Chain A
Amino acid sequence: MTSRYTFGGDEHIFVEVSEEMSLEAFFTTLSMTNAVRDAKIDGVTEICPANASFQIKFNPDVIHPDTLLVRLKDMEETANQAEPVLKTRIIEIPVLYQDPWTHETLMRFRERHQDPEATDIEYAARINGYDSVDAFIAAHSGSPWFVSMVGFVSGLPFLYQMVDRDRQIQVPKYLRPRTDTPKLTVGYGGCFSCIYSVGGAGGYQMFGVTPMPIYDPEQKMNYLKDFMVFFKPGDIVKWKPIDRAEYDRCIEAVEANTYTPRIREVVFSLDDFNKDIDGTNAKLEEMLNAD
């Protein structure tokens, strides 16, 4: 993969690893940004990985933009040779699909949608060739997802499904963005799922809601005490469809601050994955469910 380097003004270098999304591009992005972090270059102030690209913010009073550009290009070779193996964690995220709150919201913004007669998830199921919403939910929650980027706003994860490209779900964003999205909405745009960490404007299709907070500026939630943002790029997520009763139980636990996400440490190898996608995913799920 040959990356494209370009300056974002006098304070950023933007590196496009690939125009299109793929797990390979994401892994190159991760190894490049890890290499830059490890190099501890004077003047580099922010290292931001994205799905298939990344951005370095720097202080040009400390390092000349051209000098930094040369150093980054030198690292590309090494990063390309890095073994695509990731020590990470898999997390189970409960989802109440077709919940009342995103339903109420999507009904308010029907005139901004491609298909005003259907709900977001009915529309997504239809254009992706699923017979029913249930079959679509089974596909969305059936395989794990990579957190390929954290951003947009406070701690919002973008997730990329770990399946063959021909099984990837794709949906367009709303025709015009909504001015409102419930907090913790599970959304979808392009080939990415996301969780809205906070409420606000948004253009992704809305499929459901998770009871599990992923951003806590007050750092009161037991699992967000150390840092207010839950996700980091490279995390693996498995959605767990839940019903309203279980959703309410989760909310009670969240309110009592006893909610504990199910998290397991795993090692992910991209080569093993490419050799046997379903087998690798089944193993990941086994590890998630092991005690």
Chain B
Amino acid sequence: MPINVKTAGFATTIQDLGRPGYYHLGIPMGGAMDRFALRCANMLVGNDEGAAGLECVFMGPELEFTEDSVVAVTGGDLPPKLDGEVLESWTAIEVKAGQVLTFDYLRSGARAYIAFAGGIDTPPALGSRSTYPIGALGGVEGRAIQPGDVLPLGKAATAAKTGANIPEDMRRMPEKTARLRILPGLYAHRITDAAAKRFYDETWKVASEADRMGYRFKGGTPLEFVDREPPFGAGSDPSNITDACYPYGSVQVPSGTEPIILHRDAVSGGGYFMIGTVISADMDLIGQLQPNVETQFVQVDMETALTARRERADALDKVRAHLA
């Protein structure tokens, strides 16, 4: 039951929950930036939560259905339209063969997820259909979708209930000034206490370089470093370290100026110091930040991080119970 891609939108990629296990070789886990939203979309159409769907950035594609199907759109507010009629997001929608799914303009957030009953059935690479363009893995021939592509769908489960909906209070979007919680650590000792305090006090803005690899922020005061003799192999810039691994969510600040938070398609390592790591509970939020959104970095401890993680798991369980 293939889908014909009429127009592709902007960097629309096939994503599932990713391919963990190869980060030590420079192949990142990938997968949906907003994992919660993808899981919800899949649940709505009766799929396994990890089935492959489309991740749309800022705008949607135009998709023609060749057979009857059920779809759901979640994540950022990108209203779906069927043959021109605007429909509800976060809702299972029945689609008839021959109908064309398009999208209205993005109202909020940055990324929307489209799930199809049966899931997209392109060939997996290293256990995942997620698109990783740098390594030419997954997706359609290792790249974002293009007009003319034909997306195969898997066999739909019988569980898809047209009209099923996830109410607004069960969804999650960033606040107007986004708050990203960070556990300080890694090479935080490289900057002065005053610089660290300012980093968390100031309000930053998402810069234009913001994609699946990482999000850059601007607008804060450059960080002051603690003096040192450069260690052999590190390089002469005070922000350099001997090339090391980068955790997902780690916050590096090249030359102390613009922080970069690495995301699902992270480079696995490099030579810049990091001041801490965004906690796992807040990683999904980053995928919903548009350029210029104001962002506050909030310092937390491990206990808070683990509590927040449990809250996210509970929120997902609530959606599961609601749709069961």
Question: Closest CB-CB distance, A158 to chain B, in whole Å?
Answer: 6
Contact of A20 (CB < 8 Å), options: B233, B271, B279, B306: B233
Partner of B24 from the list A16, A19, A151, A165 (CB cut-off 8 Å) is A151
Q: Nearest chain-A residue to B250 (Cβ)? A: A8
* Residues of the A chain whose Cβ atoms lie less than 8 Å from the Cβ of B13: none
User: Are A154 and B26 neighbours in the complex by a CB distance under 8 Å?
Assistant: yes
B302 touches A7 (CB 8 A): yes
Contacts of B192 in A (CB 8 A): none
CA distance A52 to B134 in the complex (A): 26
Nearest residue (CB) in B for A14 is B186
Answer yes or no: A49 CB below 8 A from chain B CBs: yes
Residue of B nearest to A157 (CB): B26
Q: What B residues does A18 contact at CB under 8 A? A: 231, 242
Asked if B309 lies at the interface with its beta carbon under 8 angstroms from chain A, I say yes
0/1 string, B292-306, CB within 8 A of A gives 1: 000000000010011
Chain A 41-67 residues near chain B, CB threshold 8 A: 45-55, 57, 60-61, 65-66
Name the interface residues of B263-318: CB closer than 8 Å to any CB of A.
267-271, 274, 276-280, 302, 305-306, 309, 313
How long is the Cα–Cα vector from A150 to B24 in the complex, in angstroms? 7
Partner of A154, one of B21, B135, B280: B135
For the complex formed, measure the closest distance between the CB of B316 and the CB atoms of chain A, giving whole angstroms: 12
Q: Give the distance in Å from the alpha carbon of A46 to the alpha carbon of B302 in the complex.
A: 20
Q: Which residues of B lie under 8 Å from residue A93 when comparing CB positions?
A: none
Q: Is the CB of B309 within 8 A of A151?
A: no
B36 lies within 8 A of chain A by Cβ: no
B25 on the interface (CB 8 Å rule)? yes
Residues of B within 8 Å of A45, CB to CB, are 20-21
Cβ-defined partner of A172 (8 Å) among B135, B185, B235, B249: B235
Map CB proximity to A onto B129-153 as digits: 1 under 8 Å, 0 otherwise: 0000011110000100000000000
A217 to B269, CA, bound (A): 20
On chain B, the residues within 8 Å of A65 by CB distance are 302, 306
Number of interface residues of A (CB under 8 A): 54
| A217 and B232 within 8 A (CB) | no
Supposing A22-B232, A151-B25 touch, asked if A51 and B244 sit within 8 A by C-beta, the answer is yes
Whole-angstrom distance between the Cβ of B261 and the nearest chain A Cβ: 11
Query: Is A50 a contact partner of B245 (Cβ separation < 8 A)?
Result: yes
Determine which of B24, B135, B234 lies in contact with A47 in the assembled complex, contact meaning CB atoms within 8 Å. B24
**Residue contact B305 to A10, C-beta cutoff 8 Å:** yes
Judge whether A12 and B25 touch: CB under 8 Å: no
Given A153-B267, A154-B134, A21 and B25 contact (CB-CB distance below 8 Å): no
Q: Contacting B269 at CB < 8 Å: which of A60, A152, A190?
A: A152
The residue of chain A having its C-beta at the shortest distance from the C-beta of B305 within the complex is: A10
A12 and B277 contact, CB distance less than 8 A: yes
Question: Which residues B27-68 have CB closer than 8 A to chain A?
Answer: 27
Residue interface bits A191-209, CB-to-B below 8 A is 1, else 0:
1100001101000000000
Task: Say whether B235 contacts A190, CB under 8 Å.
Answer: yes
How many chain B residues touch A (CB < 8 A): the figure is 50
Closest chain-A Cβ to B117's Cβ sits at a distance in Å of 29
* Contact indicator A149/B269 (Cβ below 8 Å): yes
Residues in chain B near residue A10, CB distance under 8 A:
183, 279-280, 302, 305-306, 309
Task: Indicate if the CB atoms of A155 and B243 lie closer than 8 Å.
Answer: no
Q: Known interface pairs A10-B306, A152-B268, A198-B135. Does A46 touch B242 (Cβ–Cβ under 8 Å)?
A: no
Which partner residue on chain B sits nearest A232 by CB separation? B25
Inter-chain CA distance A12–B241, complex, in Å, is 18
Complex Cα distance, B313 from A6, in Å, reads 25
Interface bits B3-25 vs A (CB < 8 Å: 1, else 0): 00000000000000000111111
The distance from the CB of A289 to the nearest CB of chain B, in whole angstroms, is 29
Is A50 in contact with B244, judged by CB distance below 8 angstroms?
yes
Residues of B within 8 A of A155 (CB): 25-27
Which single residue of chain B is at the shortest CB-CB distance from A171? B235
A173 contacts partner chain B, Cβ-Cβ < 8 Å: yes
Do A9 and B279 have beta carbons less than 8 Å apart? yes
Chain A residue nearest in CB terms to B182: A9
Per-residue 0/1 for A1-38: is the Cβ within 8 Å of any B Cβ (1 yes, 0 no)? 00000111111101010111110000000000000000
Residue B248 at the chain A interface, CB threshold 8 Å: yes
Binary contact readout A131-158 vs B (1 if CB under 8 angstroms, 0 otherwise): 0000000000000000001111111101
- Shortest CB-to-CB span from A198 to chain B, Å, is 6
Do B20 and A190 have beta carbons less than 8 Å apart?
no
Contacts of A20 in B (CB 8 A): 231-234, 242
Check if B245 sits within 8 Å of A55, measured CB to CB: yes
- Separation of A152 and B239 alpha carbons in the complex (Å): 17
A97 sits at the interface (CB 8 A): no
Residues on the A chain within 8 Å of B195, using CB = none
B76 in the interface, Cβ–Cβ < 8 Å? no
Could you tell me if B134 and A190 are in contact, using CB atoms closer than 8 angstroms? no
Contacts known (A21-B242, A152-B26, A152-B270); A11 close to B233, Cβ less than 8 A: no
Given contacts A52-B233, A55-B245, A173-B235, is CB(A217)–CB(B26) below 8 Å? no
In the complex, which residues of chain A have a beta carbon less than 8 angstroms from the beta carbon of B267? 151-153
Q: Please name the 5 residue pairs, one residue from A and one from B, whose CB atoms are nearest each other, closest first.
A: A21-B233, A8-B247, A9-B277, A20-B231, A55-B245
Other than A14-B185, A21-B232, A53-B245, give 6 A-B pairs with Cβ distance below 8 A.
A9-B247, A16-B244, A50-B245, A50-B269, A151-B25, A154-B26
